[in-house]
Structure 1
């Protein structure tokens, strides 16, 4: 039992430290050697848990990125209440809560999409599933908002969902180019106006 716990702890350590390195330095620039140096583990320990860096990358997407996206951007969309207020709190408040590092480094998922999203089918499928889950949650909320007369019935739920996701991910990437939050603030103003136009 102790051996199993130790093994799980080692696997978790590799996962967590790799995620930090991928976020800071990029997936391609982070070698297995660099991961081992950071974790102070041997290569044998790495290969005991992961066949290669590709398998680790998929695990990061499924166990770290998907969980983060679900907790911060998907689960809140299923709460009850005014759909417009939920959109505002999920998108606007989330942006305002970012640390300086999150602003400078951008969105971990978006970084993965831009760096390796089209390099391997397995990455593409794993990353796409997060976007699809997010899109479904938004469509669900918008449709609910229409039924409850919070959102205009003429709005295309799918188009709105895709636009909100694209704009949000886009600004997180663009913010990396700037020294201040000025670009974020302009985005927040524009997003607030856009969401307001959805009101019934």
Structure 2
């Protein structure tokens, strides 16, 4: 039991460090030697836990990236309240977190999707599946909003979900090199304007 806990703790530490390096440098620009140096591990210790760098990266996707996307973008919009308000608050918080991150290299999921697109179908499947989970939950929240009278019944929930995802990925990319505070403010103002347009109009 104690041995298993120690092994899990070691793997978690390796994954956290690996994610930091991959996020900063990219997968292909990060070598196993870079990881070993950062962790002060031998190659034997690395290969005891993982078969390859790719296997290591997939474990990071499964254990850290999916959890990060869920806690930041999915869990906050679950519930029966007005989904437009929940999504607005969720986007605002996610962008504020990025704005105050001194080492912001962009949204981790889209960074990896750009890097692996056309290069590694297996890893792209994990990344696309994670994005699909986010999309499905957005669609579900919006449909629930239509049923509960918050979203106009003529709204295309799939289209709105696609717009939210693509606009979020875009603003996160711009915030890396641009004026993050001003970009966040302008984006949120336009998102709120758009949401007012698709909200169910209350009759007097």
TM-score (norm 1): 0.93
Match of 1:178 in 2: 178
Q: What CA distance in whole angstroms lies between the structure 2 residues aligned with 1:194 and 1:75?
A: 22
Aligned length: 200
Shift of 1:62: 1.4
Structure 1 residue runs of 4 or more that deviate by more than 4 Å after TM superposition: none
What are the equivalent positions in structure 2 for 1:114-133 lying under 5 Å apart? 114-133=114-133
Q: Which is further off, 92-101 or 181-190? A: 92-101
Q: Name the CA distance, whole Å, in 2 between partners of 1:180 and 1:15.
A: 28
Q: Aligned residue for 1:7?
A: 7
Structure 1 residue 68 displacement after superposition: 0.5
Match of 1:23 in 2: 23
Cα distance, 1:192–1:66 mapped onto 2, change above 3 Å = same
Query: Which moved further from structure 2: 154-163 or 1-10?
Result: 1-10
- Greater shift, 33-42 or 108-117, is seen at 108-117
Superposed CA offset, 1:84-131 (max 9, x none) = 211211122321233533673111111111111331111111011111
Equivalent in the alignment of 2:45 = 45
Matches of 2:180 and 2:163, distance apart in 1: 25
Aligned residue for 2:147?
Answer: 147
Q: Partners in 2 of 1:102 and 1:148 — Cα distance?
A: 40
Contact between 1:143 and 1:157, CA under 8 Å: does it hold in 2?
yes
Q: What is the match of residue 85 of structure 1? A: 85
Structure 2 spans left out of the alignment, 5+ residues:
none
> Conserved in 2, the CA contact under 8 Å of 1:103 and 1:175?
no
The yes-or-no answer on 1:70 pairing with 2:37 is: no
Flag structure 1 segments of 5+ consecutive residues without an equivalent.
none
Preserved contact between residue 109 and residue 127 of structure 2 (Cα < 8 Å): yes
Q: Does 1:188 align with 2:188?
A: yes
8 A contact 2:99–2:180 mirrored in 1 = no
Deviation at 1:61, TM superposition (A): 1.4
SS for the counterpart of 2:101 is: helix
Does the aligned pair in 1 maintain the 2:99–2:181 contact within 8 Å?
A: no
> Does residue 104 of structure 1 match 2:119?
no
Residue 161 and residue 144 in structure 1: after superposition, are their counterparts in 2 closer, same or farther (change >3 A)?
same
- The TM-score normalised by the length of structure 2 is 0.91
